Each structure stands twice: as structure tokens, then as C-alpha cells.
Amino acid sequence: MTACTTTPTDDRYHRGLAKLREIDGNAGERVIESLSGIAPDFARYLIEFPFGDIYSRPGLDLRSREIAVVAALTAMGTATAQLKVHLQAALNVGVTREEIVEVIMQMAVYAGFPAALNALAVAREVFAAPQCAD
């Protein structure tokens, strides 16, 4: 069976979609919808693997997971759009602005000042945006 012939009926998909909604609200669904015209299979994989399999594991709470993601995306230095989404997700699951800034500052030690400065600029933008319950 090819990926394009599957339907979103399995447990991984539903578990992933529920977890995505819990973390990102409507923002996550907008990301998935934005892929529907170009790569619907990729959208399904994005729901199933990261959210259905990894985020749903019991070993870490969502706060800890989002702190790790913010750190990783900051260190990458090339994922501004994803960092923006995950900064908002971190706020959604209870990470404070102060904690986010500290995580980004910590990454300056390992990823360099340019990566941390870029992430702080993204954080400033996210923090300035109106916070709504999506």
C-alpha cells in the first residue's frame, strides 16, 4: 500500500491530531492545512510521527518537550518559522517568557551568539503578538 492510498483512520493519526491540538490549538492545524495542496502525505507523517508517536510518549511532560524543541531550533539557527510555532506552543503549555529567554541564552554557549540573537528576535516577535486562545 502506498502512502497516498492510506486514510487518516489509525490510532497514530488520531492520537497525533489530538496532541497537536493540545499543544498548538488551531495554529498546528493551519500548518497541516497549508500542506494539503502540495504534500498531504507529509502532513499525515507530521501528525503521526512527531505528535502521534514522540510527543505522546509518557517520559516527558509537554513543558519539557517544548523547552527541548525551543533549544534545538535555536541551536539549528535555520528554522525561524518552526521556532515561532514552537515558542507559541511553549507558552501554550505553560513555559514562561523568562524560561524561554533563559533557554535561548543557554544555547548561546553551544550554538553561538548569532543563533541566540536570532532566536531572541523571534521570541520578541512572538511575545509582542496578541495572545489568543486558539
Residue (of 107, 103, 100) closest to 124 by Cα position: 100
Q: What's the confidence (pLDDT) of residue 119? A: 98
Radius of gyration in angstroms for the set of CA atoms belonging to the chain, rounded to a whole number: 16
Q: Give the model's pLDDT for residue 15.
A: 95
Q: How far apart are CA 120 and CA 30, in angstroms?
A: 24
Q: How far apart are CA 69 and CA 76, in angstroms?
A: 10
> What local confidence, expressed as pLDDT, does residue 121 receive?
98
Q: What pLDDT score does 1 carry?
A: 39
pLDDT at residue number 106: 98
What pLDDT is attached to residue 89? Answer: 95
Q: Which residue has the cell 543563533?
A: 115
From first to last of its 134 residues, what are the pLDDT tens digits of the chain?
345 444 555 899 999 999 999 998 877 788 888 898 999 999 999 999 999 999 999 999 999 999 999 999 999 999 999 999 999 999 999 999 999 999 999 999 999 999 999 999 999 999 999 876 55
pTM as predicted: 0.85
The CA distance from 120 to 40, in Å, is 32
